[in-house]
Amino acid sequence: MRSTAKIATSAAAVAMVAGGFSAAASAQEAQQTRAPQGVPATLDGESINLGESWKGADVCEVGSAGKVRCWDGAKATTAAQKAELAKKKKCETHNVCLYDGKNFKGRMLTFNDEYWHNLAKYGFSNKTSSVKNNQDGPGPFKDHAYLADGRNGKGKQVKFSQGEKSASLGKFNNKASSVHG
C-alpha cells in the first residue's frame, strides 16, 4: 500500500513540474506573439531592425540567404545609386514585390525564395496594397506567390500566378500577414 502511495505522489509531482514548464512555455510563446522579433537589415552601412522601423528606407530586399538590404531614395545622390534604386523599384526578375501603396507606390519589400515569411518581422504586416510576382523558376509552388491574412500562411489566401501583378488588392488591401514566393 505504501509503495502505491509513493508512486501516486511521485507521479503528481512530475505532473506539477511538467505543467509548470508548459505554462512557462505558453507564456513565452504569448509574449513572442505580442512582440515579434524584427529582422536585421543594412541601410547605408548601418544595421537597422525592420520590425521596429525602416529608418527612411524606400526599398528592402530579402535575399535567399536571409540577408536583408535596404535603400533610402533621399540619400541616393550619385547617378549609380539612383540607377540601382530605380532598378530595384521595378521589381526585378525572380522576386515577389509588395508595396504599401496602391499602383506599386510607396515602400517596397521584395522576396525571392520559396517559403512563408511573417511580415510583422519586416514591419510590413497589414500594409500591403499592391503586388508584383516576377518569379520565373521551377518550384513546388510553380512560381505562384501567395499572401495570407494569418501568420505562416494561415487564414485566407490570395494567389498570384507567375508574371501577375495587382495594382490594388481590393478587400484584401492591408490584410496580409504572411507571404510565400
C-alpha cell, 139? 518550384
pLDDT at 140: 58
Query: Rg of the chain's alpha carbons, rounded to an integer?
Result: 22
**Alpha carbons 43 and 64: distance in angstroms, whole number:** 18
Give yes or no: residues 73 and 136 share one domain: yes
Give yes or no: residues 147 and 86 share one domain: yes
Length of the chain: 181
Give yes or no: residues 29 and 51 share one domain: no
Give yes or no: residues 29 and 109 share one domain: no
Give yes or no: residues 44 and 114 share one domain: yes
Give yes or no: residues 96 and 43 share one domain: yes
Q: What domain count does the chain have?
A: 2
Give yes or no: residues 49 and 133 share one domain: yes
Q: How far lies 114's CA from each of 111, 145, 153, in Å?
A: 9, 9, 12
Give yes or no: residues 175 and 87 share one domain: yes
Give yes or no: residues 81 and 30 share one domain: no
pLDDT at 139: 59
Q: What is the mean pLDDT of residues 44-58?
A: 94
- Say which range, 33-37, 85-89, 176-180, has the weakest mean pLDDT: 33-37
Give yes or no: residues 104 and 54 share one domain: yes
Provide CB contacts within 8 A for 151, sequence distance 6+.
118, 120, 177, 178
pLDDT at 149: 98
Q: What is the mean pLDDT of residues 118-123?
A: 97
Provide CB contacts within 8 A for 68, sequence distance 6+.
39, 40, 41, 42, 50, 60, 61, 62, 122
pLDDT band, residue 86 (cuts 50/70/90): confident
Give yes or no: residues 133 and 144 share one domain: yes
91: left (phi over 0), alpha (psi -120 to 50) or beta: left
- Say which range, 40-44, 64-68, 75-79, has the weakest mean pLDDT: 64-68
State the pTM of this model. Answer: 0.77
CATH number for the domain that contains residue 106:
2.60.20.10
What range does the domain containing 14 cover? 1-35
Give yes or no: residues 99 and 43 share one domain: yes
Does residue 7 register a pLDDT over 90? Answer: no
